[in-house]
């Protein structure tokens, strides 16, 4: 009797755990045959399972094109299920916008398909993928169960690619990472900007080069898009998300550079003088502190090399 009770308890625990590990993905249509699944404006946590990212898909005559696969095997599988609720067409291709783990660790659910990325993104995932995967296990726990790294198997060549009546402009940029893919569907006017654009959430900078990032944003401004899907945050129909991202990066670079040139120690900058509209971005305090650690040492070194600190002492 006790054995039967134990088995029943374990089965119930398994059902509860499975129910808890439901991303509750809900595709939102942003244009004809085009859908986005919007992540939380949060950090990775045991509560959100790493679902802080926007993924998307386009239903074409030839099948479904997916943009980014999410943070885990489970997310990738639930993404496929969400697509199946919208269309019975098969997924035919997956594009990965860059090498950060919330965008590619769902690849396992699509590993029998062409998974396309820029060359440096492929290299970055092969080099850092296991480290990213291990780190997410620590941050979100059982949501990562069974996740393993599947690197993209197809190199993206910038230019036009037509899939099932949709003309996809594949744009190779850099700045958020060393390789950032933006995809403009010229058929619908939807631009998938990846993490080159954040909206309502503080940008992340672990692999950023801020000057190159600003240059990429200017190139995105020139595109003829009707809807922009940022890597994080709600889709928009104008340049507001580009402007917000650019404004934050400009403030961050100017503020940290000025402080480095004045000889300020990193510990003195934990409470920055920041415009209120930027402070109100989601997870500002944590992301600013991370950016401080990412960027400030190089700025300090440059100030010392240029003699700026000595000149002001």
**CA 211 to CA 215: how far, in whole Å?**
6
End-to-end alpha carbon distance in the chain: 80
How, if at all, do strands 55-60 and 190-198 pair? unpaired
Pair 153, 112: CB distance under 8 Å: no
Q: Is 205 exposed, middle or buried (0-12, 13-18, 19+ CB in 10 A)?
A: buried
pLDDT at 79 (0 to 100): 98
**CA 240 to CA 198: how far, in whole Å?**
10
pLDDT at 8 (0 to 100): 35
pLDDT at 4 (0 to 100): 41
Q: Quote the tokens at residue 257.
A: 């550079």
Nearest partner of 66 among 89, 85, 92, judged by Cα: 92
pLDDT at 309 (0 to 100): 63
pLDDT at 268 (0 to 100): 96
Q: Quote the tokens at residue 106.
A: 């769902």
Altogether, the residues listed in the chain come to a count of 313
Pair 157, 77: CB distance under 8 Å: no
pTM of the model: 0.92
Each residue's pLDDT tens digit, 137-151: 999 999 999 999 999
Going by C-beta distance under 8 Å and a sequence separation of 6 or more, which residues neighbour residue 135? Answer: 101
Query: How many C-alpha atoms does 120 have within 13 Å on its Cβ side?
Result: 12
pLDDT at 120 (0 to 100): 98
pLDDT at 279 (0 to 100): 97
In the chain, % of residues over pLDDT 70: 92
The yes-or-no verdict on residue 14 having pLDDT over 80 is no
pLDDT at 65 (0 to 100): 98
Of residues 176 and 1, which shows the higher confidence score? Answer: 176
**CA 108 to CA 76: how far, in whole Å?**
7
DSSP the chain: -HHHHHHHHHHHHHHHHHHHT------EEEETTEEEEPPPSS---TTTTT--S-EEEEEETTEEEEE---SSHHHHHHHHHHHHHH-SSPEEEEE--SS-HHHHTTGGGGTTS-EEE-HHHHHHHHHHHHHHHHHHHHHHGGGGTT-------EE--SEEEEETTEEEEEEEE-SSSS-EEEEEETTTTEEEEEEEEESSBPPP-TT--HHHHHHHHHHHHTS--SEEEEEES--BSSSHHHHHHHHHHHHHHHHHHHHHHTT--GGGGSS----HHHHTSBTHHHHHHHHHHHHHHHHHHHHHHTTHHHHT-
For 196, other C-beta atoms within 10 Å of its C-beta total 27
Each residue's pLDDT tens digit, 152-184: 999 999 999 999 999 999 999 999 999 999 999
pLDDT at 146 (0 to 100): 97
Each residue's pLDDT tens digit, 88-134: 999 999 999 999 999 999 999 999 999 999 999 999 999 999 999 99
**CA 219 to CA 210: how far, in whole Å?**
14
Q: Is 48 exposed, middle or buried (0-12, 13-18, 19+ CB in 10 A)?
A: middle
pLDDT at 9 (0 to 100): 32
Pair 156, 172: CB distance under 8 Å: yes
Model confidence at 50, pLDDT cuts 50, 70, 90, reads: very high
pLDDT at 191 (0 to 100): 98
pLDDT at 11 (0 to 100): 32
The yes-or-no verdict on residue 237 having pLDDT over 50 is yes
**CA 62 to CA 178: how far, in whole Å?**
32
Report the pLDDT averaged over residues 223-232.
98
Average predicted confidence (pLDDT) for the chain: 93
Domains of the chain: 22-238 (3.60.15.10)
pLDDT at 304 (0 to 100): 87
């Amino acid at each position: 009797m006790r054995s039967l009770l134990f088995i029943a308890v374990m089965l119930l625990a398994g059902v509860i755990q499975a129910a808890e590990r439901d991303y509750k993905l809900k595709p939102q249509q942003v244009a004809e045959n085009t859908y986005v699944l919007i992540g939380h404006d949060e950090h990775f946590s045991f509560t959100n399972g790493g679902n802080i990212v926007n993924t998307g898909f386009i239903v074409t005559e030839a099948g479904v094109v997916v943009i980014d696969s999410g943070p885990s095997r489970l997310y990738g599988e639930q993404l496929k299920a969400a697509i199946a609720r919208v269309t019975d067409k098969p997924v035919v291709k997956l594009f990965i916008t860059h090498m950060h783990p919330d965008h590619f660790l769902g690849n396992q659910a699509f590993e029998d398909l062409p998974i396309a990325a820029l060359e440096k993104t492929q290299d970055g995932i092969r080099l850092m993928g296991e480290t990213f995967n291990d780190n997410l296990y620590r941050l979100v726990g059982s949501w990562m169960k069974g996740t393993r790294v599947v690197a993209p198997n197809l190199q993206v060549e910038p230019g036009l690619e037509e899939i099932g009546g949709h003309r996809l402009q594949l744009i190779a940029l850099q700045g958020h990472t060393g390789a950032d893919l933006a995809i403009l569907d010229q058929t619908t006017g939807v631009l998938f900007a990846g993490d080159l654009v954040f909206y309502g959430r503080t940008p992340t900078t672990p692999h950023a080069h801020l000057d190159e990032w600003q240059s990429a944003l200017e190139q995105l401004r020139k595109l003829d898009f009707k809807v922009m899907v940022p890597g994080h945050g709600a889709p928009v129909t104008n340049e507001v998300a580009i402007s917000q991202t650019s404004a934050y990066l400009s403030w961050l670079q100017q503020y940290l550079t000025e402080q480095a040139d004045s000889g300020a120690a990193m510990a003195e900058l934990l409470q920055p003088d920041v415009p209120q509209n930027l402070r109100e971005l989601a997870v500002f305090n944590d992301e600013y502190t991370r950016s401080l650690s990412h960027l400030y040492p190089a700025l300090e070194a440059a100030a010392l090399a240029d003699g700026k600190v000595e000149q002001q002492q």
